[in-house]
Amino acid sequence: MRLKNKVALITGGSSGIGRESAILFAQEGAKVVVTDINDEGGQETVRIIQDAGNDAAYFHADVAKASDCAAMVEFAEETYGALHILFNNAGIMHSDDGNAMSTEEEVFDLTMNINVKGVFFGCKYGIPALQRAGGGSIINTASFVAHLGAATPQIAYTASKGAVLSMTRELAIIHARENIRVNALCPGPLRTELLMKFLNTEAKKQRRLVHIPMGRFGEAKEMAKAALFLASDESSYTTGTEFLVDGGITAAYVTPE
């Protein structure tokens, strides 16, 4: 039980990385608070966890709102007595996100509000809770596009994930001597609903796949296992990292056909 006696809060827990991480964290002994704006999906995640005999609770939260982030942290502490793991995972990849010329200001602002301010608000209210618990782990979902330009234009998303990565580094340094670790999980292209909606033609999918040395999209379960390492005491000397789990895409110069 790698997370025994730990309390974890996971944003964006209704599907994808968030759901798989919530299920895995609970299997490893954590009490899990699942948050999302998709109440049906979030509650289904909690049911899956509870049906397996593990402990979880759902809380509706829009991470773009400071008040919701403050409330979700308060809920975690009131429900389970503490908070040890904060996984700022919620994010969007808007279908109208393109290049600088085609992307509307509203799309850019919405993306930044959720993907960047959502992490900021999570940390703003979550870090005091981790301090009260004597320390813990924060995981922020960034992306391989924080390192590389995306072959399919997604200017707002790419900019937002670069911001998450740099914010993670600074938070890690600020809180390193408080027994609080802060790391960025940087997934490669995944076979999730979020990306498949964006890469909505076979041509778009192939344009992304040709760059991945492994020749396939990653799976949300694979990201959950990486997040588990960062959440657990096994990563006790790991902070400020860019944990790339990307099928080799950022290491590739020329990929095999």
Evaluate whether 180 touches 151 at the Cβ level (below 8 Å).
no
In this predicted structure, the answer to whether residue 40 has a pLDDT above a threshold of 60 is yes
Is 54 inside a domain boundary? yes
Is 109 inside a domain boundary? yes
CATH value at residue 184:
3.40.50.720
**The tokens of 52 are what?**
């397996």
Is 108 inside a domain boundary? yes
What mean pLDDT is predicted for residues 214-221? 93
Query: Residues with catalytic annotation?
Result: 157
Helix (H) or strand (E) holding 9: strand 7-11
pTM of the model: 0.95
- CA separation for the pair 110, 106 (Å, rounded): 6
pLDDT recorded at residue 254: 54
- Find the domain containing 97 and state its range: 7-251
Rounded to 5°, angle at Cα 159 from 172 and 231 = 35
Q: How far from 107 is each of 16, 97, 115, 188, CA to CA, in Å?
A: 22, 7, 12, 23
In this predicted structure, the answer to whether residue 151 has a pLDDT above a threshold of 80 is no
Measured in whole angstroms, the distance separating CA 129 from the mean position of its chain's CA atoms is: 19
**The tokens of 91 are what?**
């994010």
Round the average pLDDT of the chain to a whole number and report it.
95
Query: DSSP 3-state assignment of 191?
Result: coil
Q: What percent of the chain has pLDDT over 70?
A: 98
Structural domains in the chain (count): 1
In this predicted structure, the answer to whether residue 194 has a pLDDT above a threshold of 80 is no
In this predicted structure, the answer to whether residue 169 has a pLDDT above a threshold of 80 is yes
Is 1 inside a domain boundary? no
| Angle of helix 155-174 versus helix 118-132 axis, rounded to 10 | 20
pLDDT confidence bin for 210, thresholds 50/70/90: confident
Is 2 inside a domain boundary? no
Q: Where are the beta strands (DSSP E) in 75-224?
A: 85-88, 136-141, 180-187
